[in-house]
Amino acid sequence: MDFTLKEIFKSGGPIFIFLILLSIYSIAIIIEKYKQFKRIVKKNLIIIGKANHFFKINKGGEFIKHLVAQKNILSEIVTGFINHNGTLKEKREYLSSMLEHHNTQLSKKLNTLATIGSISPFIGLFGTVIGVVKAFKDMAAFQSAGPAVIAQGISEALVNTAMGLFVAIPAVVAYNYFISEIDRFNSEINWFTEQMIDRYNKNENT
């Protein structure tokens, strides 16, 4: 059998087409999340890197004042902390709720990506089973069957297995990458808020 694109689709059958659709949806999510992370996470991590420099040279207060005029997550945190009327504990709780909100936005559709990565190999395996069953049915129907008769069933099995892995691997890699970026983002944001609170405490005690 010549494995042209047309023959691959024909061999794979409905399960192969379903996996193709899953792959397209998965790639769309990956592109969407990558753009979101580049716009939000990477941008704010760069700003936190600059903040680290200013805090080290004891000019964190100046940096915070400059940050208030900008539009990003860090400026939201700073202005929210300054404008919130409450105790330090209440201010911390408010900052935690803000960070949780942003985490929710960043985590959207990641569970879908994880699900695609988890189920795609099993869908491919299901296609494999169907292909093997078809091959044995062909062998039973044609007792003198040669390789050409059962090739369709075997190819269907192999094509779906490969496609299941093709869909799953990028989805799993992307999911792990985005989760690690969220963890790093949270770690850096928590560091920044602690530095800001420390600066606030020093100002309150002077």
pLDDT, tens only, 132-144:
887 777 777 766 6
Q: Which two tokens stand for residue 120?
A: 């795609």
Q: Does residue 145 carry a pLDDT above 60? A: no
Instruction: For tokens 């209440």, name the residue.
Output: 90
* The two three-digit tokens of residue 69, written as one number: 């005029």
Q: Is 174 among the domain residues?
A: yes
Q: Which residues contact 185 (CB under 8 A, 6 or more apart)?
A: 41, 44, 45, 106
- The answer to whether position 22 is within a domain reads yes
**Domains in the chain: how many in total?**
1
Lowest mean pLDDT among 27-31, 117-121, 180-184: 180-184
Q: Domain of 63? A: 5-199
C-alpha span between 129 and 54 (Å, rounded): 61
205 within domain boundaries: no
Residue 78 in any domain: the answer is: yes
Distance CA 197, CA 77 (A): 11
The answer as to whether 206 is a domain residue is: no
**Over the stretch 168-194, which tens digit does the pLDDT of each residue have?**
999 999 999 999 999 988 888 888 788
The mean pLDDT value for 24-49 works out to 88
Q: Tell me the residue type at 142.
A: F
CA distance 102 to 181: 13
Q: Mean pLDDT across the chain, nearest whole number?
A: 81
- Judge whether 110 and 179 are in contact, CB under 8 Å: yes
Can you give the pLDDT at residue 123?
94
